[in-house]
């Protein structure tokens, strides 16, 4: 029996935690982290299959555009890790700038449609057997 796919849930601001049951229902082994620094450490030690993270922009960031650039930079060398971000519509332009420089595999605008989230995460798991 194969090991379940791992999903790192980084909850910095918006709250991806509301979907934890969905992640588990899909078969992911969920690891939750509230600190981007700790998430980066986890990614470097044991890259997860999927990262789901909150994306946001604050005008007082001195040396970056968003909360996730350090994490995104750390995971660029791990192409098998899929990156999904949740974002506010007001942050679309900043997200576009960041995703032009750093890989983001998918972005879902808030409020996230659970069916869209489910479809994306199921696709990343690969083919699922049809239940009868």
DSSP for the chain? -PPPPEEEEE-SSS-GGGGHHHHHHTT-EEEEES-HHHHHHHHHHS--SEEEEEE---TT-SS-SSSSHHHHHHHTT-TTSEEEEEE-GGGHHHHHHHHHHS--SEEEESSPPHHHHHHHHHHHH---PPP-
The per-residue pLDDT for range 26-66, each reduced to its tens digit, is 999 999 998 888 999 999 999 999 999 988 876 666 656 67
pLDDT at residue 36, as a whole number:
87
The per-residue pLDDT for range 1-27, each reduced to its tens digit, is 578 999 999 976 555 668 989 999 999
pLDDT beyond 80 at 100? yes
What residue ranges define each of the domains in the chain, with the CATH number in brackets?
A: 6-125 (3.40.50.2300)
pLDDT at residue 64, as a whole number:
62
- Rounded average pLDDT over 65-86: 89
Q: Is the pTM of this model over 0.85?
A: yes
pLDDT at residue 129, as a whole number:
43
């Amino acid at each position: 029996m194969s090991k379940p796919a791992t999903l790192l849930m980084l909850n910095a601001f918006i709250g991806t935690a509301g979907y934890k049951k969905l992640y588990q229902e899909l078969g992911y082994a969920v690891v939750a982290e509230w600190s981007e620094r700790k998430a980066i450490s986890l990614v470097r030690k044991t890259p997860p299959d999927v990262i789901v993270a909150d994306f946001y922009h604050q005008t007082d960031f001195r040396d970056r555009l968003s909360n996730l650039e350090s994490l995104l930079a750390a995971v660029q060398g791990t192409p098998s890790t899929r990156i999904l971000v949740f974002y506010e519509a007001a942050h679309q332009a900043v997200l576009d700038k960041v995703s032009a420089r750093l890989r983001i595999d998918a972005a879902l605008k808030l409020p996230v449609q659970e069916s869209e989230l489910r479809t994306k995460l199921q696709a990343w798991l690969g083919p699922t057997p049809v239940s009868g």
